[in-house]
Amino acid sequence: MLAKFLAEGDVVVLSGAGISTESGIPDYRGPSGALRRHTPMTYQTFTGDPAARRRYWARSHAGWRTMAGARPNSGHHAVARLQRHGLLSGVVTQNVDGLHQAGGATGVIELHGSLHRVVCLDCGDATSREELDHRLRQANPRFGALVTAVNPDGDVELPQEEIEAFRPVGCRACGGGVLKPDVVFFGETVPPGRVAACFALVERARLLLVLGSSLTVMSGRRFVLRAAKLGIPVAIVNQGPTRGDDYADLTVDAPLGVVLSQTAALMAAAP
């Protein structure tokens, strides 16, 4: 059924954390979601509390090795195959892991940014996460936290004594400015230009395909609401119900890797 919905092309994909769970990155709100054990960092806490920033960077530094080692799964590869077949007119992701691009997708709009980039809140200088990782390793040569599970935002739980011993680093460009991952924290606003670009894609689409998002927060759900308002069909593939189901013309409750791989194979075999 999903293949029939996609057959005429002009599809915009909106993906969420559920597409990356098969790569070992948990989602927030699924059956084993991270929100059941973890409260994400907010922008207000990060910018206003130096101790909170130390905690964030210690935990994120430990988790980065897992995030950097994550590999795209069959769902990411299937999205890239659909794009190569000319069926997709755009890919928007709420994820910050970069796995769509690693799986071969191009022109991806990262709605919430990327953990692979770091920005200075004082001077605006942007650097790679790899460079920051090298600097943090130099500043913390004895840091060797044992990682058992990483959260969707890339951090892990750590003992308080390891957090207190951790030494963050500042911006090299301006001599010590506050560094922040180039992601939209909870409580922070997505850049208006990025939102406008996503709306423009959706408004030109023939179909909006939601992959692995519960659509619980308005950040993603607004695009479903806009599509429904304009009479653009919506298809949702997710494990479990979503807050967009009432607006969907098709819902598929199944593992994304399986469904998307089968769909991409059918589309490739179509005349």
Binding-site residues for Zn(2+): 120, 123, 171, 174
Neighbour count for residue 96 (Cβ, 10 Å): 25
β-sheet with 126-128: strand ranges across = 126-128, 113-120, 179-183
Cβ neighbours of 54 (radius 10 Å)? 16
Catalytic residue flag (residue 112)? yes
What DSSP element (H or E) covers 197? helix 192-204
DSSP state of 145: P
Give strand pairing partners of 14.
Answer: 92, 210
Of 38, 76, 100, 112, which residue is the catalytic one?
112
Report the C-alpha gap between 166 and 57 in whole angstroms.
Answer: 8
Binding residues for NAD(+): 94-97, 212-214, 238-240, 256
Q: Residue ranges for the binding site? A: 94-97, 120, 123, 171, 174, 212-214, 238-240, 256
d(C-alpha 232, C-alpha 234), whole Å: 7
Give the catalytic positions in this structure: 112
